[in-house]
Amino acid sequence: MSQQTTEPLPDDQAAGTGATGGTARRRRRLLPWKHRRDLDPAQLRRRKLLTRGLTGVCVVCAGTLAWSVGQALTYPGKDSTTARLAEWARDHELGFVVDKLEDVQYSMDPPKVGGTLPADALARMKATQGAVPTPAHVAAQLLVPLHDPMRPLVGPALPGEGVYRTLAAAHGQPIVQGTYVRPDGAHTSYEAAVAWISGKYSRFQLHPGFREPGGTFDVPPTIPEGMRTGLVATWNGGFRITDGGSRGGFYLDGKTAGELRDGAASEVFYRDGSFRIGVWGRDVRMTPDVTGVRQCLELMVDDGRVVPDIGNDSKWGVSDQSRMFVPRSGVGVTAQGDVVMVVGQALSAQTLAQLMQRAGAVRAMPLDMNRAWPSFMSYDGTRNSADPTPTNILDFEDPPDRYYTQATRDFVAVYAR
């Protein structure tokens, strides 16, 4: 047999072969710093200073984070907690995290396919059942007759589906009208709402949000008491300006946030209260009469037709969100200069565009999406003309009086002339 030579183990390994205490000592020796008993007094002092410094930095960072999130959760307005946290993340370069979480949530809980409308939605739709098209001889005597029914995308039509009713009246005229339809043949348990506003008998005003686009403007980020007389409608703004999501800018009374981009779909507001939608630099441009501009992505409907590249993901959101059937909103103008606005619970970019085109829009653009932001409210001044009662055309996260308090994002207010 060959003779084996046994070499002595290093002290720490030898200690590790003993009792549990030896193993613990060996593990301590393997840490990237020395044990206290192996330090001289000067080294101990330096370690204490370093430890206190690191602890202080951690406390400051944690405190700053807590303060920042706390500010986001307590700023004025009626945004939901989910919306506030998402906005905080986007403000801190974490928008990609929000987008990913939205993708994951959608994949885990996609919208239901098939089925029927819930009872409250059916009741809302049937409430228009009694409305009938205005007879021709009567319509000739009215300034603003009720619209003929909108042809639904899903057949056969449900009772009241596509039938317009008055949402807000002024001087006895139904200058804001609305109806409900199902968005497509697959998502039949969801509703989309279509609003129509008389361009001739309305006045349009762009409002900023105090966080989006932020800054200081002469127009307030709310509709305060004293500015509500004649109010008939409001609707939400578009993708964020401050993080570049809108791919365009915001202009109001001589001040610009972001940059007004040629080619961008644009809501344009004029000194006489009129309103137009078009491609910036082609249909609309800066003139002395322009008081406000709100840009968002690109037109979805142009020259009365849905744009051919409506399935292009890069135009209507990040990743594949254009194909997601989620809450969305959009606004358009008719050939007569009237306004149509669509909000829906389960819309893709394509179905939103189709609804706006079906409602009569010759040019239409997307606005904001996801449950926190789309909204259309009509206002009833029958009881108090100076403080009309708001009503959501569809139920989303925020209550109908969301613009009676400080609004975080920009919006449009509509007044009767």
- What pLDDT shows up at residue 9? 47
* Chain center to CA of 113: 24
Write down the residue that tokens 């051919």 correspond to. 308
Beta-bridge mates of residue 168 = 176
CA dihedral 240, 214, 343, 321 (to 10 degrees): 20
Q: How far apart (Å, rounded) are the C-alpha atoms in residues 8 and 4?
A: 13
Indicate if the pLDDT at residue 318 is higher than 70: no
The pTM of this model reads 0.80
- Quick one: what percent of the chain has pLDDT higher than 70? 77
pLDDT grade, residue 232 (50/70/90)? Answer: very high
Indicate if the pLDDT at residue 275 is higher than 80: yes
> Do 162 and 150 form a contact (C-beta atoms < 8 A)?
yes
Cβ-Cβ contacts under 8 Å for 139 (sequence gap 6 or more):
145
Q: How far apart (Å, rounded) are the C-alpha atoms in residues 88 and 149?
A: 43
Q: What would the pLDDT profile of 46-100 be if each residue is shown by its tens digit?
A: 777 777 777 777 776 777 667 565 765 666 776 667 766 666 667 766 666 666 6
- What pLDDT shows up at residue 136? 58
pLDDT grade, residue 31 (50/70/90)? Answer: very low
What mean pLDDT value characterizes the chain?
A: 84
Average pLDDT over residues 307-334: 83
Q: What would the pLDDT profile of 384-402 be if each residue is shown by its tens digit?
A: 999 999 999 998 888 999 9
Where along the chain do its domains lie?
A: 115-416
Average pLDDT over residues 224-238: 97
> Do 376 and 341 form a contact (C-beta atoms < 8 A)?
yes
- What pLDDT shows up at residue 276? 98
Indicate if the pLDDT at residue 22 is higher than 60: no
Please indicate whether residue 11 or residue 346 has the higher confidence score (pLDDT): 346
Average pLDDT over residues 158-183: 94
Q: How far apart (Å, rounded) are the C-alpha atoms in residues 355 and 306?
A: 10
Q: How far apart (Å, rounded) are the C-alpha atoms in residues 343 and 356?
A: 10
**In Å, how far are 56, 136, 335 from 67, measured between CA atoms?**
16, 63, 51
Q: How far apart (Å, rounded) are the C-alpha atoms in residues 162 and 160?
A: 6
- What pLDDT shows up at residue 1? 45
Q: Is 312 strand, coil or helix?
A: coil
Q: What would the pLDDT profile of 104-150 be if each residue is shown by its tens digit?
A: 776 777 889 999 999 999 998 988 655 545 555 555 556 888 888 99
Name the burial class of residue 2, with classes exposed (0-12), middle (13-18) and buried (19+) by CB atoms within 10 angstroms of its CB. Answer: exposed
Indicate if the pLDDT at residue 29 is higher than 70: no
Indicate if the pLDDT at residue 30 is higher than 60: no
- What pLDDT shows up at residue 87? 66
pLDDT grade, residue 303 (50/70/90)? Answer: very high
Q: How far apart (Å, rounded) are the C-alpha atoms in residues 408 and 372?
A: 11
> Do 163 and 197 form a contact (C-beta atoms < 8 A)?
no
Average pLDDT over residues 154-181: 94
